[in-house]
Structure 1
Amino acid sequence: MRVPTNLKSGQAEFNMTPMIDVVFLLIIFFLVSSHLAKQEAQLPLPLPTAKSGQEILEDQQPRVVVNIGGDGSLSLGGHRVPADQLKQRLIVERERSGQDLEVRIRCDRQTPFANVKPVMLAAAQAGIWNVAFSVIRPEDAAR
């Protein structure tokens, strides 16, 4: 049997190109998804004012934002949701997060409570008890 003579002596090397491609794709994915999450909370709604409250610090707790338009329309995660499907969508989000989920309600300051109540009931029926309202300070509203 003939022994191949063209074998190179040296160390085995790994091809790093596929790993670098995957890292760049992950970076792009997280940049795009964080940009979309920020856009969801930046819908132009004149928020109600509150004299008391807590500044929300950005933390790692999973959160969904329910926007209530002046006409009573609902949007969850930037997509319109019929009121009768909100409970099911919240259950799916709670199961997906695997931990305590926060529901942040953003609504127009002129929105009647009759439009807010179904969102609060859907959250309670979905087993979500951490519900917060997005508000602004009166001094910030004057600007």
Structure 2
Amino acid sequence: MTPMIDVVFLLIIFFLVSSTLAKRETLLDLDLPTAASGRDSQADSTPHVTVNVDASGVVLLAGSPVQPAELLARLRAESERHEEGITVRVRSDRAADYASVEPVLAACAEAEVWNVVFAVYEDKQ
């Protein structure tokens, strides 16, 4: 009985830590663009990877700056780990140039990740 309790406690700790790390990605303070239409991607159950692009053009994955080659390798690894495919959520500051976002899209295409969504604020007009 004791080993089973240990396993349950380890699972609880794992899920607490992983949910905290997942929330950290969306807490990065970015001034996202607005859009008049869209859908809530929180309801989507496919595994996702969040890539942030700040106003200065720095690409962040898991809160750390990454180069395009490293981003490509990590996207490939995640895609191979999940047979059903992954979704890449791009959170880009509205002040970031397209030249900063384009390497993210190129890495997704090269890693054969076709489900890419952009995080935006709802336009309240």
Displacement of 1:39 in angstroms is 1.1
1:21 has 2:6 as partner: yes
Identity within the alignment, %:
50
Paired residue secondary structure (1:131): strand
Displacement of 1:100 in angstroms is 1.3
Displacement of 1:57 in angstroms is 3.1
1:101 has 2:90 as partner: no
Structure 1: 5+ residue runs without aligned partners? Answer: 1-15
1:35 is aligned to: 20
1:132 is aligned to: 117
1:78 has 2:76 as partner: no
Paired residue secondary structure (1:66): strand
Structure 1 residues 40-93: Cα deviation after superposition (integer angstroms, max 9, x where no partner): 111111111001111223343110001011111111122321123221221111
Runs of 4+ residues over 4 Å off in structure 1: none
1:58 is aligned to: 43
Structure 2: 5+ residue runs without aligned partners? Answer: none
2:75 is aligned to: 90
Distance in 2 (CA, whole Å) between partners of 1:88 and 1:22 is 32
Tell me how many residue pairs correspond in the alignment: 125
Tell me the amino acid that sits aligned with residue 30 of structure 1: F
1:110 is aligned to: 95
Distance in 2 (CA, whole Å) between partners of 1:20 and 1:88 is 37
Query: Comparing 89-98 with 62-71, which one deviates more in the overlay?
Result: 89-98
1:32–1:67 distance in 2 versus 1, CA, 3 Å: same
Distance in 1 (CA, whole Å) between partners of 2:119 and 2:48 is 13
Distance in 2 (CA, whole Å) between partners of 1:135 and 1:101 is 19
- Structure 1 or 2, whichever has the larger Rg, is 1
Displacement of 1:123 in angstroms is 0.2
Q: Which has the higher helix share?
A: 2
Q: Which has the higher strand share?
A: 2
Determine which structure has greater relative contact order: mean sequence separation of CA pairs < 8 Å that are 6+ residues apart, divided by chain length: 2
